Structure 1
Amino acid sequence: MSLFGQDRSFLHALPAADRRVLLAEGAPRSYEPGEIMIRERDTSAYVLALLSGWSVVSVGTERGARLILALRGAGEVVGDLAAVDRRPRSATVTALGRVEAVAVSGDRFRRFLAARPHATSLIMRQLATRLRSADVERRSLASETVLQRLAARLVELAERAGRRAESGTVLELPLPQHDLAAAIGATREAVAKALRLLREQGVVRTANRTVIVVDMPVLVLLARGRTHPGAHSSDKPPPAV
């Protein structure tokens, strides 16, 4: 399962000339932390090309909770599905920190793609990656424990948005516990319990909206379901948190 898109973002994969053309088609937008950039079920069709900052893609559930599907950062585009199929928005996109973007209308974005087969191929590849990720996510929700899913998320965040420090790997994205819970399809209480277990065994340290991965090898093993904190045998399964 993955919160992030492809290693090379849509904007960065475009030829420089095409990237300039696309950005010139839109208007600059700025979003403050917590501001909704795109709202689920809305009928708007503009696309946002992200220039800086991070955003959270989420959907509401029947129980009124929120499930985080992805994190999108600089170089990526959001809102492209509604622009392509002209149907209501499938998810909400919220600024995690301050975000700078360029808003391109759905009509202009479709014309841009129609004139550039390479760009269309990139969008199709992006949609295929998201579909595969959704399939993996469904499988993990059905077969993995909260501890295993949380460990996998923390490993991914450390690898993609972590900063090395003397104390370990500091996760740069300020995700509170309720967002970590929403990112793995669990309750906040279950995530708090799993984090407490990881802290007690010296795998991670936590502070206000900050997680520091202290023992990455053990965290990786946990993500694979091969051990649990305090155990040295890879044959022992993780506890059912």
Structure 2
Amino acid sequence: MGLLGNDLAFAQALSAQEREGVMALGSRKHFPPDAHLLTEGDRSSHVLILIEGWVTVSVSTDRGATRLILGLRGPGELLGEMAALDPHPRSATVRALGPIEAQVISGDAFRRFLALHPRVSGLVIRQLTFRLRSADQERSALASLTVLQRLAGRLNELSAAEAAGPYAPAAAGRPSGPAPAGSVVHLAQDELAATIGATREAVAKALRLLRGQRIVRTGNRMVEILDPALLALLADGHHE
């Protein structure tokens, strides 16, 4: 399971000249918290490069109002590239977790830039491949792992990232292994549920089990990891 994207965000993988060129294609725009930067099914073709803030990438599920969060994206990440490269509707919704600043670039301008810069085009292809594989892994986990396993894995992933710095930029690299004790995930229970494709009730039940074993402590929009080693074992399917 993995929500946090590639080891190196798109903008950070560019040379200074490439970055200057691609940013000059568009204009900077601010989005408020909870705004939909991109909407699943929409036929727009522009792309976004995040400058400040974090967003969720989600898709609708068979349960209608329920959404599955496939990714968390932060500064430097490229969003919306699939709709810029083919005529199909957007495949996911991108929602702001807080105030967002992003560079908005038209699909036509972005395609022309890629045609003139093969190395940048290769970076986009690499990103698409990575994200498609990550989405497949998320769907596989949804089908094969229990809610407790998925929640333990997600808490381990997100707490390790926060311990490296509050959702540290991708350029810092992705942490591996259990997070240190005392690290905290700042998400509400319904948001955690969406990251693993479960109901809020199922996540609340799993958190009660984790609290009962003193693996986590919970508060308002907060889960503190008390025993990261045991949390990692639960994520791997080991039960007491």
Tell me if 1:19 matches 2:51.
no
State how far apart, in whole Å, the 2-side matches of 1:79 and 1:119 are.
16
**Pairing 1:110–2:111 present:** yes
Match of 2:225 in 1: 213
Note the residue ranges of structure 2 that are not aligned, 5 or more in a row: 166-178
Question: Does residue 62 in structure 1 map to residue 62 in structure 2?
Answer: yes
User: Contact 2:53–2:75 at 8 Å: present in 1 too?
Assistant: yes
Partners of 2:227 and 2:180 lie apart in 1 by 12
Are 1:128 and 2:129 counterparts?
yes
Residue 203 of structure 1 pairs with residue 215 of structure 2:
yes
Q: Which amino acid aligns with 2:197?
A: G
Describe the superposition over 1:56-97 as per-residue Cα deviations: whole angstroms up to 9, x where unpaired: 111122322111111110010111110111321111100001
SS class of match (1:194): helix
Quote the residue 2:74 is aligned against.
Answer: 73
After TM superposition, list the pairs within 5 Å mapping 1:70-109 onto structure 2.
70-109=71-110
Distance 1:105 1:221 in 2: 46
Report if aligned partners of 2:50, 2:75 keep a CA contact under 8 Å in 1: yes
- The root-mean-square deviation of aligned C-alpha atoms, in Å, is 1.7
Q: What one-letter code is carried by the residue in structure 2 that aligns with 1:109? A: F
1:111-190 correspondence runs (5 A): 111-162=112-163, 168-171=182-185, 174-190=186-202
SS at match of 1:168: coil
In 1, the alpha carbon distance for the partners of 2:139 and 2:223 equals 26
Tell me which stretches of 4 or more aligned residues in structure 1 moved more than 6 Å: 164-167
Q: 8 Å contact 1:59–1:69 — kept in the other structure?
A: yes
Change (3 A) 1:110 1:44: same
Tell me, in whole angstroms, the C-alpha distance in 2 between the residues paired with 1:188 and 1:68. 14
Answer 1 or 2: higher relative contact order, Cα 8 Å, separation at least 6.
2
Q: How far did residue 166 of structure 1 move?
A: 9.7
**What secondary structure, in the 3-state scheme, does the structure 1 residue paired with 2:49 have?**
strand
The Cα offsets for residues 82-123 of structure 1, whole Å up to 9 and x where unpaired, read as: 011132111110000111110000011111111111111111
**C-alpha distance in 1, partners of 2:119/2:112?**
13
Please give the alpha-carbon distance, in whole angstroms, between the structure 1 residues aligned to 2:107 and 2:80: 9
Aligned length: 226
Query: Does 196-205 or 97-106 show the bigger shift?
Result: 196-205
Deviation per CA, 1:180-206: give whole Å up to 9, x if none. Answer: 111111111000000111112111111
Provide the C-alpha distance between the structure 2 equivalents of 1:87 and 1:135, rounded to a whole number of angstroms: 20
CA distance in 2: counterparts of 1:87 and 1:161, whole angstroms: 35
Structure 1 166/190 Cα, relative in aligned 2: closer, same or farther at 3 Å?
closer
Tell me the secondary structure at the aligned position of residue 101 of structure 2. Answer: strand
Identity across matched positions, percent: 54
What are the ranges of 5 or more consecutive residues in structure 1 without an aligned counterpart? 232-241
Counterpart Cα distance in 1 of 2:9 and 2:230: 30
